[in-house]
Chain A
Amino acid sequence: SYVLTQPPSVSVAPGKTARITCGGNNIGSKSVHWYQQKPGQAPVLVIYYDSDRPSGIPERFSGSNSGNTATLTISRVEAGDEADYYCQVWDSSSDHPGVVFGGGTKLTVL
């Protein structure tokens, strides 16, 4: 089955840029979606189709996807951005295709 690999944690100072990676075999050929989840809350879609932002998501959130790595970039990080972030793809290549989530990355704002 298809595997998405995320770093367990990323730390960044307020006002700086955070980059959260999502690795997968030829992930650049797939569409990647990103979710933010704060403690005790449901996930929220922050980036879809690699780099599009849903309405209401700040422009500080952006995404890219190429080769074997997709990246969620958060510019001018704020304390309120502290959360877990998950990447997600649809895997149609395995013998049991379906939705795959990365293991999640905890973003800490120092």
Chain B
Amino acid sequence: EVQLVESGGGLVQPGGSLRLSCAASGFTFSSYAMHWVRQAPGKGLEYVSAISSNGGSTYYANSVKGRFTISRDNSKNTLYLQMGSLRAEDMAVYYCAREVYGGNDGAFDIWGQGTMVTVSS
């Protein structure tokens, strides 16, 4: 079964750090660009970050640039999001998603179940 499973969410104080993981299975992970998308409670989807299939290219939304780092370990079929200098506005469910059809206009056909990040003192 093709699936993505996120982990690593939790409660963190403002200014703190957290690392999210996304374990992939059922497909050739190293062939796909991967993304992180977040959703604040009661709000819409917000794009966060992307990484190319080989990890050589990354992208960050302005709202997280300089604070978050996306990476991947293709030998472990795992995607990561290192989050630092966390703010209240970073509190959200974080989803990892697989990009399909490619070409920098692809769709996200597989999503994880999400992991909640709570930023509070």
**B95 near A43: Cβ-Cβ < 8 Å:** yes
Q: Which residue of A is nearest B49, CB measured? A: A98
What is the distance, in angstroms, from A1's C-beta to the closest C-beta of chain B?
8
| Overall SS of chain A's interface | strand
Number of interface residues of A (CB under 8 A): 26
**B107 near A48: Cβ-Cβ < 8 Å:** yes
Select which of B35, B107, B112 is within 8 A of A49 by beta carbon: B107
Which size bracket describes the interface of B in this complex? Answer: 20 to 34
Write the residues of chain B forming the contact surface with A, with a CB cutoff of 8 angstroms. Answer: 35, 37, 44-47, 50, 59, 61-62, 95, 100-101, 104-109, 111-114
22 pairs, A vs B, C-beta closer than 8 Å: A33-B107, A33-B108, A35-B45, A42-B111, A42-B112, A43-B37, A43-B95, A43-B108, A43-B111, A44-B111, A48-B101, A48-B107, A49-B101, A49-B107, A88-B108, A89-B105, A98-B50, A98-B61, A99-B35, A99-B47, A99-B50, A104-B44
